[in-house]
Structures are given as C-alpha cells and as structure tokens.
Amino acid sequence: MVDFATFQAVIELNAAYAAALDTQQWDAWPDFFLDDCVYRVQPRENFEMGLPLATLSFESRGMLRDRIYGIRDTLFHDPYYQRHVIGLPAIRRLDDDTLQVEANYAVFRTKPDQLTDILSVGRYLDIVKRTGDGWKFASRQCIFDSEMIPNSLIYPI
C-alpha cells in the first residue's frame, strides 16, 4: 500500500507530463526523466512476446533532447495537436524511492483542418524514482494496443 502523498505525486507527474506534451512545451519533456533513462513506444504484440523491436526507443535524456531537436528543426510534417487522457495509476511495486507504475492512456490527434482521431491507446509501464527535484521517470514504456500506427509518429506519446 502506498501513502496518499506518493500516489498524488504520481498523478501530478502524469498530469504535468500530459500538459507539457499537449501544449507542445517540447523543452520540458526530457526534464520528466532521469539522465539515464529509457523511453520506448512499442506494440503490445512485441512486448508480450518479449521481442525488442520498438517504434521509438531512446536510452538517455540526451537522446530525448535529440528527438526534440528533430521535431523542431529537421522533421517536416503536417502540424497537429495532441490531447492525452491518462487513467489513474496503479502502483504495482514500491521499493524505497522507486515505484513501478502502470496507467492506461489514450492520445487523440487533431489536425487544424480535420476532425479529431485517435492516435494511440495503450498503457504506460513506468519506473519512477524520487529525486531531489521530485519524482522522475527512470523508464517509460508506452505499450500501444493496435498493430497499426500512423505513417509517422512525430511527437512523444
């Protein structure tokens, strides 16, 4: 059983994460992670079969910053907005200052001249660590349910 303050901190971490991405505050995204971190976007089938292939896979905060550079300066795409809806987290394990957390998510995409569609639905599998700067992701795996993805995945999930 986790105490209320810790549970609330995880909820606030997810809310701040979603708000940063939904308002395209790209520079804030890497700051949700430790320097040595993992961020992966992987299909459910590969995850459940233990296969390593992922749609996106980054292994440090520096790699996350490189992705932001790519979003801003090198990738050309139709602009769109994202809206994250993150379910209540389930704390699966608590060890000292480390949590294993699972939460369902849905990400909607809106292009300015089109109706909103569903970009991705799945679950986050997180390892969250307490730091002097608050809780940070040591690992965030975005396991998406569908085997189909848009022809390009530009923004973080």
Out of 25-34, 68-77, 102-111, pick the least confident: 68-77
DSSP labels for 26-91?
GGGGGGGEEEEEEEEEEEHHHHHTT----SEEE-SHHHHHHHHHIIIII------EEEEEEPPPEE
Residue 11, pLDDT score = 98
Q: Which residue has the higher pLDDT, 75 or 156?
A: 156
Residue 151, pLDDT score = 67
Contact by Cβ (8 Å): 126, 100: yes
Q: With cut-offs at 50, 70 and 90, classify the pLDDT of residue 115.
A: very high
Residue 23, pLDDT score = 97
Q: With cut-offs at 50, 70 and 90, classify the pLDDT of residue 131.
A: very high
Q: Which domains does the chain have, with CATH numbers?
A: 4-144 (3.10.450.50)
**pLDDT tens-digit series, residues 48-71:** 999 999 999 999 999 999 999 988
Half-sphere exposure of 112 toward its Cβ, with a 13 Å CA cutoff?
3
Contact by Cβ (8 Å): 101, 124: yes
Q: pTM for this one?
A: 0.94
Whether pLDDT at 150 is above 80: no
Whether pLDDT at 123 is above 70: yes
